[in-house]
Amino acid sequence: MHHRSSLHHLFHSTELDLINPTIAPSREQAIADHDSNEDEIKIYCDGSGINQNIGAAAVLYCKERPQPRVLRYHLGSADEHTVYESEAVGLTLAAQLISTEDDITFQVSIYVDNQAAIKSGDIFSTNPGHYLIDHFRRLIMQLKKTSQDRDFKVNVRWISRHDGVEGNEEADREAKTRFWQLSPRYE
């Protein structure tokens, strides 16, 4: 059984059932769920602090393309930003990557290795970075408005960090890359 966060209940109660946040009860279950997921598009996002810098990345894998697409963003110094903010920016980058896909078929899975980012809808908060989660939700609502797919749904799933899941490891590497950039890297 999967734990449903308050974000899940919030979207159900407001009839915006566009995002399905899921946290598996264990690392092993999260990996098993990941490995059995057949979604055509999987996006892995991560935020990181390294050398007193805070960065975020999202990596989109599509079954139809051999190479992933990447967005990275450097937030700034660790004196001005938090890793939580970078995790939220990672979600926003994931939504931006989704918006650039042509003829996307939903459901789409976004994998995040930070449970706090997934549970962030638990309260309406003025904590640093919370506005970024609100921005992510607005981007998803915009995607729904422009989507032709009646089955539109974005699954935000927890994946444990450093357990060898290639997409998650790639997102971690990209978030720590020295040369962050604002534009997507196409390969």
The amino acid at 41: I
Task: Specify the pTM.
Answer: 0.81
| Per-residue pLDDT tens digits of the chain, which is 187 residues long | 455 555 544 444 443 567 889 999 999 999 999 999 999 999 999 998 888 888 999 999 998 888 999 999 988 888 988 888 898 899 999 999 999 888 777 889 999 998 988 887 544 445 556 678 888 888 888 888 888 777 788 899 999 887 789 999 999 999 888 544 444 444 3
Cα(44)–Cα(77) distance, rounded to whole angstroms? 23
pLDDT in the model for residue 104: 79
Nearest-CA neighbor of 60 among 47, 42, 73? 42
Burial category of 83 from C-beta neighbours within 10 Å (exposed 0-12, middle 13-18, buried 19 and up): buried
Give the CATH class of 6-175. alpha beta
Cα(37)–Cα(7) distance, rounded to whole angstroms? 22
